[in-house]
Structure 1
């Protein structure tokens, strides 16, 4: 409260000519002054508010500097470094805006001794005029810089920003403050364009185009420094030095419906100021493309739940001129191109986005790098893409002819199972760890501006997206350490499997890694990484076969008979199941479990000698149900490798696969019984006694069902700990997934529209995704449940079956398999485990090499940009000291970025890959490093 008044008011001023009447709260520790002294003290700070003491009312009230004195001396002078011009014009009323103090209705005098326009004088004073002819409103440069930073970081709208400035001026009578929203809209669109022109060297004439000749002319995009760019950051003769993944351009494609735009009667002259020089196409080009290329594709998505393309013209797009955007990003998450969607997400729009990406940086026709494109609907897009490009994009058709196509790693789980092996990056050579899901990361940022761009004119809409794309690109970083750690883990795991299956390696190595589509059934894909629709044995049949086997298995104590290990492993899984599913609480049950555990531990010390010390450290006083069994699943894959537990882990995986299949079969039978029990209760139970008996029976069956679901989750969790879980093969199971239409009653009207729960699409070998579509491949329709009341436990489980697709009820009881069939199944399991581990190892090996190549390209890019800006500063285009200083500043900035990247690279890079000696290339390093890494697999030689 002491700040509301000042005891020095009314005392003599420093000038000794008048009394103190005015203070300033924006200045730091500013003493009150008389009116003339206050104006003189604020000669270079005219936007500070003058707090003038009102003697009559006894408090301070706020005034603009131009109102302190009645004379023209209080007007803000332009020119002469803030001093009044001898030939100054008469004061002009203007509205000046500053982000610190708000909106000022003030007076300005212009310099009359120089032949300079008013807008030029305002610009020289760091004020941006809203008009050129007779400016009446201007914004300080720091206001526009502040606005740009705030909107890029917090996605605030121009309206809210101007409203905040007006409230900052007067938070009570805000309506009396001049409304500068329309003027600010205009200026805030021009400012980012001018900043971009300056930042990307447009102020240096055509010189930047000459230094980057392969880029589009006069472009103002933020390029990814780590992506290959010919003549900038690539090694000499890069096109003649495989492997190709070192120079691959990885791209992710995705559509977003949150950045649309309403169709309104807008000014036809309101076009994008960037005019196709950034991430989005010129509006005329886009319109011509829409008229020339069919937008309704013939290909329809047949994979489950991919309704984006099939619903291209839904009613939700009514009254929308733009329904969203399709973006192409590189693997480092830089936005490379973006196209407005007109209607839905169709192939023509995606093709144009890819076309713009190709045009970002041209390569010679005979020196095209390998390109990879990842898209969630790639199985539909890529079918006829070559034919479309030969017709509509003939000049760049060779790019798509040589490109590789993938589906993001998470999205592919919603596809037909064959898409996994056809389009998942893991099963493709020279992909690195390009999972493709980074396309989703940016939408969380860009969605925040969706409500703003929805109501803008189309030109403003495009410009707003462009400045946010540029800001997003500037803030991207990358890391090498993760690739190093993952590579070592995957390498050691694969080496362990190679030792385990040494006798089979030659045979498996000769197998084709490419997927093959069944000519008789276009939806069936055969792959070395898949079971290919094989059936699995029952657990009893599998264990019986292992018990009779004369084979030996390597454990940490040496070689022992397979049958003994299988029996011991089966007993361990039984004990583990008892510990987790039904904890003993009665003394005799606990004693029995303790005795069984002691007997099992004796064999464990023999089979797992490498962990004997850990077994001995188990507390004696601990209850048997709380003791850790120390099965292979209790260790990480790296620890299993170190402790020589890989063979035991492999057997545990095989047993868990069989146990999961058997659990599914038992769960199917149990739920069938539950369904029949409910039907009998509805039909036959009359009276309290009959109803009570029926309910008791139902509760027992429900308890068994819940136990089986718990077992399924338990086995699935253990399989995941062993790094052997196939999410598509054994998906999560919820209560709603077990709903099944009763087969005990006659068919009722509407039954054909009812969906069964996910349990009924599952087979004994998993592969749930087949049941996600009906026989025609189209998404299954939803419908109402048949008449009759559902079980109470299902009625409250989110209406099971109404919106759920099925996955586990398509199979009947498991059939017994012959010994030969079990052997084939077991070898197939081993082969799939080995092949998938090989694929993981190879992708992470490639990823590690790609990250080294990225770092080297970044360093070369920064060094090239440093030299470019230095040339601009020293060249003939530097017509002023400002041009020279700006060029030197940017050259130094890129020099610092180059030094920082080199420091990080030297810290985390592998010396064998990082250090390129004179006369060699990075590819030579890769070849030599891979040869060294082969020593981990020398036992196969």
Structure 2
């Protein structure tokens, strides 16, 4: 059936049913020379009818029949103007401010005419009129470029699921607009990336309910935007009354099981600093609060850490990671080991390598305010990390990070796959197989998390400090959400 299908392709791209039509089928007057590629049926109509049919779908792409073939046309050239404001739903008001506007939509990049309403004595700001019409403005003052909410949702979802870059998305829309390079398509990548960053931030605060809080976005606390694991023990949420008074032999029932690790794929080049490119919500979701973290690590600029466990070498290379030209050599993070949810304020940048000062802060930040009877922590170099943690390093930590849970209530283990690489003396005390209540937890879940999040490494490597944090926060939130809705399936 190849020839049959090919013939139908050609017919579909031609005048099809309306090849012999002399007059517009809608008004029976004008010449049927305009076709909309986005309207179902792709009927040929006259210019006036094409405009009339697209008042509520102004971002459709149309073409004109020139007696030999279809050539690109625009609704703006046909005098279609998109009115904004509640007072002018069908046509621009007499005092409207009509401007040429660039719109990024799911089917391409459009140049259209927009009429900003000025009916009210105090005109609604243009950015607000655009937002109410489902168009995200690229700037706050005098916007001339915007993206439809449909385009923003499409890119946001594709980027989270497939790690699609903004460059590839915009370039794809440019090809949909003109696949020959003959036409002049507005270059809007920088504007789009600004909109994407703002969109990500607004979505994460919206989903956390900040719009319904009396303190608004400014009242957001540390880690409040993170998607929490619903299966990990949380008093007043999923624990029975009296959980904290059970016999000691049952403490494992209400134990928090965590895993910690570092990832050197998520590097970041020295493009800008946090002053020029501040995060919109660093510390509100998965990254640690930046100022407190920086103050802490500055105390350990010359800290040397070498592993003495000859069977494992993660820390033996801690200060040998190439940091030239990099703001960050990677990230460290803490997750719940049973369900692999990223922990709130449990992720941070590494400056040299997998140093104790970094990992200590992330671990303690991830359990800030946690009320449980016991903790089981899995870490591939736990045999070295625990040395002097309680006696020397913990007393030097910020007071608000010092846990209330005693040393005796914290069990330490090495992930099962990594344990094989340790000396035999490390095996009995650090094997998850010997930990009461650990079940079949392997402690390697964080490695599987890295495999997913590493898809954004090539993009975030070139970002500024704040944009990178916002982007990784968003991807961590998406990963947690997909796990949440998939629990029990």
- Tell me the TM-score normalized by structure 2: 0.89
Matched with 1:285 is 292
Per-residue CA shift, 1:357-391, capped at 9, x if unaligned?
A: 112x543xxxx420111000000001111121122
Following the alignment from structure 1 to structure 2, what is the Cα–Cα distance between the partners of residues 340 and 175? 44
Task: Name the residue aligned to 1:238.
Answer: 243
Which residue matches 2:23?
11
Q: Give the equivalent residue in structure 2 for 1:66.
A: 76
Go from structure 1 to structure 2 and tell me whether the alpha carbon gap of 1:261 and 1:9 turns closer, same or farther (over 3 Å shift).
Answer: farther
Q: Distance in 2 between matches of 1:440 and 1:199?
A: 27
| Distance in 1, Cα, partners of 2:307 & 2:155 | 44
Q: What's the counterpart of residue 107 of structure 1?
A: 113
Asked whether the equivalents of residues 249 and 370 of structure 1 are also in contact (C-alpha less than 8 Å), the reply is yes
Q: Any idea what the Cα deviations from partners look like across 1:444-465, whole Å, max 9, x if unmatched? A: 1111111111111111111111
> Post-superposition shift, 1:54?
1.6
Query: Which structure features the higher share of helix residues?
Result: 1
Partner of residue 885, structure 1: none
Distance 1:405 1:198, change over 3 A: same
Distance 2:325 2:215 in 1: 45
Residue 93 (structure 2) aligned to one of 64, 86, 92: 86
Distance 1:244 1:208 in 2: 39
Match of 2:138 in 1: 130
Deviation at residue 475 of structure 1 after TM alignment: 1.3
SS at match of 1:374: strand
Helix, strand or coil at the partner of 1:109 = strand
Are 2:387 and 1:383 equivalent residues in the alignment? yes
Cα distance change of structure 1 residues 319 and 130 upon mapping to structure 2, 3 Å threshold: same
Give the equivalent residue in structure 2 for 1:717: none
- 1:528 is matched with which residue? none
Question: CA offsets, 1:701-759, max 9 Å, x none?
Answer: xxxxxxxxxxxxxxxxxxxxxxxxxxxxxxxxxxxxxxxxxxxxxxxxxxxxxxxxxxx
1:149 shift after superposition: 0.6
Select 1:189's aligned residue among 197, 213, 229.
197
Shift of 1:165: 1.1
Q: After superposition, give the CA deviation of every residue in 1:616-639 in whole Å (9 maximum; x if it has no partner).
A: xxxxxxxxxxxxxxxxxxxxxxxx
Residue equivalent to 2:358: 349
The 5 A counterparts of 1:732-811 are none
How far residue 208 of structure 1 moved from its aligned partner, in angstroms, is 9.9
* 1:598 corresponds to: none
Query: Would the aligned equivalents of 2:83 and 2:91 in 1 still touch at CA under 8 Å?
Result: yes
The structure-2 alpha-carbon separation of the partners of 1:315 and 1:467, relative to structure 1 and needing over 3 Å to count, comes to closer
Change (3 A) 1:176 1:258: same
Hey, what does 2:232 align to over in structure 1?
A: 227
Cα pair 2:222 2:289 within 8 Å, conserved: no
Match of 2:377 in 1: 373
Q: Determine the structure 2 residue equivalent to 1:268.
A: 275
Distance 1:306 1:175 in 2: 59
Deviation at 1:207, TM superposition (A): 8.2
Q: Distance in 2 between matches of 1:400 and 1:156?
A: 45
User: Equivalent residue of 2:315, what SS?
Assistant: coil
Change (3 A) 1:12 1:144: closer
8 Å contact 1:295–1:348 — kept in the other structure?
no
1:252 is displaced (CA, Å) by 0.5
CA distances 1:814-838 after superposition (whole Å, capped 9, x unpaired): xxxxxxxxxxxxxxxxxxxxxxxxx
Superposed CA offset, 1:60-114 (max 9, x none): 1122211124xxxx12222347411333524201101101x21012211111213
* Alignment CA distance shift 1:8-1:466 (3 Å): farther
User: Normalising by structure 1, what TM-score?
Assistant: 0.47
C-alpha spacing 1:216/1:250, structure 2 compared with 1 (3 Å): farther
Q: Please give the alpha-carbon distance, in whole angstroms, between the structure 2 residues aligned to 1:350 and 1:124.
A: 45
Q: Which residues of structure 1 form unaligned runs of 5+?
A: 478-896, 906-941
Residues 464-503 of structure 1: CA distance to partner in whole angstroms, max 9, x if unpaired?
11001001111116xxxxxxxxxxxxxxxxxxxxxxxxxx
Q: Secondary structure at the match of 2:136?
A: strand
Q: 1:220 to 1:258 in 2, by over 3 A?
A: same
Return the offset for 1:259: 0.4
Does structure 1 residue 167 correspond to structure 2 residue 175? Answer: yes
C-alpha deviation, 1:168, in angstroms: 1.2
Per-residue CA deviations over 1:549-590 (Å, capped at 9, x if unaligned) read xxxxxxxxxxxxxxxxxxxxxxxxxxxxxxxxxxxxxxxxxx
Residue of structure 2 equivalent to 1:422? 429
- Alpha-carbon distance in structure 1 between the residues aligned to 2:330 and 2:188: 30
- 1:92 and 1:208, CA in 2 relative to 1: closer, same or farther beyond 3 A? closer
CA distance in 1, matches of 2:351, 2:204: 28
- 1:428 Cα deviation after fit: 2.8
Work out whether residues 333 and 438 of structure 1, in 8 Å CA contact, stay in contact via their aligned partners in 2: yes
What CA distance in whole angstroms lies between the structure 2 residues aligned with 1:327 and 1:13?
Answer: 64
Conserved 8 A contact 2:103-2:148: yes
User: Structure 2 unaligned runs (5+)?
Assistant: 1-9
**Helix, strand or coil for the counterpart of 1:343?**
coil
SS of the aligned residue for 1:389 comes to helix
Taking the aligned partners of 2:307 and 2:262, their CA distance within structure 1 comes to 15
1:23 lines up with 2:35 in the alignment? yes
SS at match of 1:258: coil
Does residue 143 of the first structure (1) align with residue 151 of the second (2)? Answer: yes
Offset at residue 297 of structure 1 (A)? 4.6
Whole-Å Cα distance in 2 between the matches of residues 289 and 175 of structure 1? 54
Alignment counterpart, residue 95 of structure 1, candidates 102, 111, 127: 102
Secondary structure at the aligned position of 2:363 is classed as helix
Cα distance change, pair 174–188 in 1 and its aligned pair in 2 (3 A): farther
State the alpha-carbon separation in 2 of the partners of residues 83 and 473 from structure 1: 43
**Greater relative contact order (Cα 8 A, min sep 6): structure 1 or 2?**
2
Deviations 1:243-279 (A, max 9, x none): 0111100000111100010123457321111131011
Count of equivalent residues: 465
Root mean square deviation, CA, Å? 2.4
Q: Which residue of 1 aligns with 2:160?
A: 152
Write the mapping of 1:432-581 to structure 2, written as runs, cut at 5 A. Answer: 432-476=439-483
> Does structure 2 conserve the Cα–Cα contact (< 8 Å) formed by 1:43 and 1:82?
no
Distance (Å, rounded) in 2 between the aligned partners of 1:250 and 1:77: 56
Distance apart, 1:307 and its partner CA: 2.5
Determine helix, strand or coil for the equivalent of 1:405: strand
Distance of aligned partners of 1:103 and 1:440 in 2 relative to their CA distance in 1, 3 Å threshold: same
Question: Which SS does the other structure have where 1:317 is aligned?
Answer: coil
Structure 1 residues 347, 400: closer, same or farther in 2, change over 3 A? farther
Change (3 A) 1:435 1:148: same
Write out per-residue CA displacement over residues 410-429 of structure 1, whole angstroms, 9 at most, x where no aligned residue: 11111110100111122233
Distance 1:375 1:218, change over 3 A: closer
Aligned to 1:253: 260
Residue 133 of structure 1, CA deviation? 1.3
The structure-2 alpha-carbon separation of the partners of 1:282 and 1:78, relative to structure 1 and needing over 3 Å to count, comes to: same
Match of 2:313 in 1: 307
- Choose 1 or 2 for highest CA Rg: 1
